[in-house]
Amino acid sequence: MASKRLGIVCKRTAIFLFMVFSVVTAASSLSAGQIAPQWEFFGGYSYMRFDSPPLGYPSWSNLNGFNGEVTYNITRRFSVTADGSGGYGSMITAYNYMIGPQYNLRKDKSKYFAHAFIGKAENTIGITTLIKSGFESVGRAYAFGGGYDRDLTPRFTFRVMADYLHTDTFGTSQTDVRISTGLVFHLGHFGRRPKL
């Protein structure tokens, strides 16, 4: 029990350090600003390391699925992001719908960002009994994470990001890790366009 708690604390610390490191290093090394689009639409593949032991599984589960985000840039550095993801594994389906602030640091073709989300988790375990098929639970979800964008064209950006994701479903808590990658489509902009 104690070792599990230690592992969770360690994970949380690592993610916190990740976020702090993102901001500090980027702020210290970036000077010129990347163009800031008004809207960003992200879609791509998502891998989730799902904390299924609290649900009775013998070990963690690997979920593959999708991740989509819509980001509205309020300023060049601050934005609001709505995040939705779905993961599918052995008898587990996990959907998360969250929204929250995002901080961005831009330089030329690159962008580093960190965000914090809160929202809803909808987890389903596909087991069948005499009276029921599929057990679903809806609960709170929150996430912390960040990532890196690299411009491919003025309209499209490649993105990779990682999140620590906490969900409360089935009367227990799950502490998951989600990694996503895909393309970002830009719509509208302020600032100068990058040289590509």
Partner 1 sequence: MPSKRICLVLIAVGLAPLMGCGSPSIFSSSSTSHTAYVTLPNSNAVAAFRIKTSGSSVNNNAEAQFTTIVGSPFPAGSSPTSVLVHPSGKYVYVVNRNENDISLFTINSSIGSLQEVLPRTTTGLTPVSMVMDSGGSYLFVINELSSSISTYSINAGTGALSQIAGSPFTTFNNPFSLAIAPSGKFLYVVNPDLTSVIAYTIASGVLTPVAGLPAQVGNGPRAITVDPAGTFVYVTNSADNTVSVLNINPGTGALTLLGTFATGITPTSVVALDTYLYVGNQGSTNVSAFTVTPVTGVLTEITSSPFSVGIAPLFEVLDPDNLFLYVGSQTANSVTALSIDTSTGALAETSQSAATGVSPSSMGVTK
Q: Which is nearer to partner 1, 27 or 39 (CB)?
A: 27
- Residue 8, SS3? helix
130 makes contact with partner 1 (CB under 8 A): yes
Nearest to 106 by CA among 144, 150, 145: 150
Q: Which is nearer to partner 1, 8 or 39 (CB)?
A: 8
160 makes contact with partner 1 (CB under 8 A): yes
Give the position of tokens 């689009």: 37
Please pick, from the candidates 33, 41, 43, 60, the single residue that binds partner 1 as defined by CB under 8 A: 60
Nearest to 164 by CA among 147, 139, 184, 182: 147
Q: What are phi and psi of 90, to 5 degrees?
A: -65, 100
Please pick, from the candidates 82, 99, 116, 177, the single residue that binds partner 1 as defined by CB under 8 A: 177
66 makes contact with partner 1 (CB under 8 A): no
Q: Which is nearer to partner 1, 150 or 155 (CB)?
A: 150
Please pick, from the candidates 39, 57, 88, 97, the single residue that binds partner 1 as defined by CB under 8 A: 57
What are the beta bridge partners of residue 114?
A: 103, 146
7 makes contact with partner 1 (CB under 8 A): yes
- Would you give the binding string for partner 1 spanning residues 95-114, x where CB under 8 A is met? ------------xx-x-x--
In terms of Cβ atoms closer than 10 Å to its own Cβ (0-12, 13-18, 19+), residue 98 is buried
49 makes contact with partner 1 (CB under 8 A): yes
**CA dist., res. 170 & res. 80, Å (int):** 29
**CA dist., res. 111 & res. 79, Å (int):** 13
Q: What are phi and psi of 193, to 5 degrees?
A: -75, 145
48 makes contact with partner 1 (CB under 8 A): no
Q: Which residues bind partner 1 (CB under 8 A)?
A: 1, 3-4, 6-7, 10-11, 13-15, 17-18, 21-22, 25-26, 29, 49, 51-60, 90-91, 107-108, 110, 112, 125, 127-132, 135, 145-148, 160, 162, 164, 170, 177, 179
